[in-house]
Amino acid sequence: MPEKARRAARPERVAVIGAGMSGLACAQTLAEQGIHVTLFDKARGPGGRMASKRRPTATLDLGAQSFTVRDARFSQLIESLENQGVVACWPGASFEVSDAGWAKLDDDQRRYAGAPRMSAITRELANRLTRFDHVKTHFDTRVQTLTKLTGGERDWALCGDQHQPLGAFDTVVITAPPPQAEALMGEWDLTLARACSARAQRSCWAGYVVFETPLPPIENVTRWDTLHARHPALRLVSRNHTKPGRGHQPESLSLLAQLDWSEQMLERPADEVACALYAAFRSLLPRNVVLPDIVELGAHRWRYAQASAPGSESYLYSEQGLALCGESFRGSRVEDAWLSGRELGNALLELPESYQNQTAV
């Protein structure tokens, strides 16, 4: 493992680009030690791949559907969120479907979902940052350029749309997918840029369908919340109304596509993809099942859904004041994203962290 490089001093003003799990974890870690943090995200609110889609009659999760807890540090966070009612156990009943039919699926892993939607978790983490006077958050703000400064106290200047100045910082943390991070860094740090280039990304389509009435029962299945499919197009079906806090909304499904199929269909129109995923779901049901009328059908494309292979580092940073973290580095789970941000924050502060993966370039 490379020896950890040391900066002349701990950072004083840090920009964190991206308000997903990793960006929020990094910002929190730095803020707790008195570091001035400014958080930017191009979306209207926090979430990243934890974001939820609100439709007139239903709220739909189109990214992460649930998550597990393995690490003691992440467990502590989830316990506090569970006590607040922001997290609850889900799903209660999972099945796998193949040519042999439907079979109960149980891997003895406890899973959780946000309540009343996955984005409730990231919204709560963002709310926790508001107690710090030295933290600022800017949503609906896209960072377009990163410029190296010379001769001043700050190292980096950020600009948004139409060259709007967004501030000067001694450290910039980028949690965007590696292709986007590489484009933002440009020629400023070729080592980090090459690290981004080496992390190939997979794409994924996520469909959704809202029904007028509940789905009919399946023979010999008393209840199902998720369905894992062995289908060329479809890999996972989630029933949104069975998730915590959503019992009042109508029947709605999230339809997560297989990665290979998604990449074959990457540039196809969203309505065509949605129809194909719905047809795939219909093919998994017994022939005698009659589905209710559809209220709404659609699809969302994740161009950069996950890294094609797990990373060997939890984060990367350089003495120039640029840093990278996120699930493309540590792993693809929700927990991995949060741990990557936390571990980077502690590395920048040069604080000890048990079993922390420290990598400096």
Alpha-carbon distance 48 to 338, whole Å?
12
Instruction: Please give the backbone phi and psi of residue 236, each rounded to the nearest 5 degrees, phi first.
Output: -150, 135
Alpha-carbon distance 70 to 269, whole Å?
38
* pLDDT score for 85: 97
Specify whether the CB–CB gap between 357 and 314 falls below 8 A.
yes
Listed in sequence order, the residues at least 6 apart from 345 whose beta carbon sits closer than 8 Å to its beta carbon are 25, 26, 27, 28, 29, 30
pTM (2 d.p.) = 0.92
- Please, how many CA atoms are within 13 Å of residue 100, restricted to the half-sphere of its CB? 4
- Domains of the chain (ranges, CATH numbers): 1-64+118-200+309-361 (3.50.50.60), 90-111+201-308 (3.90.660.10)
∠ CA 282-288-294 to the nearest 5 degrees? 45
Would you give per-residue pLDDT tens digits along the chain (361 residues)? 233 434 446 899 999 999 999 999 999 999 999 999 999 999 999 998 898 889 998 999 999 999 999 999 999 999 999 999 999 999 999 999 988 889 999 888 999 999 999 999 999 999 999 999 999 999 999 999 999 998 766 799 999 999 999 999 999 999 999 999 999 998 899 999 999 999 999 999 999 999 999 999 999 999 999 999 999 999 999 999 999 999 999 999 999 999 999 999 999 999 999 999 999 999 999 999 999 999 999 999 999 999 998 777 899 999 889 999 998 998 889 999 999 999 999 999 986 553 334 444 4
Token couple for 101: 């039919």
* pLDDT score for 300: 97
* pLDDT score for 351: 60
* pLDDT score for 152: 67
Alpha-carbon distance 332 to 288, whole Å?
38
* pLDDT score for 153: 65
Listed in sequence order, the residues at least 6 apart from 279 whose beta carbon sits closer than 8 Å to its beta carbon are none
Closest CA to 218 of 104, 127, 71, 333: 104
* pLDDT score for 331: 85
Token couple for 87: 């997290």
The gap between the terminal CA atoms of the chain, to the nearest Å, is 11
Exposure string over 309-341, b if 16+ CB within 10 A, otherwise e: eebebbbbbbebbbbbbbbbbbbbbbbbbbbbb
Helical residues (DSSP H) of 47-173, grouped into ranges: 72-83, 119-129
Helical residues (DSSP H) of 130-258, grouped into ranges: 178-185, 190-197
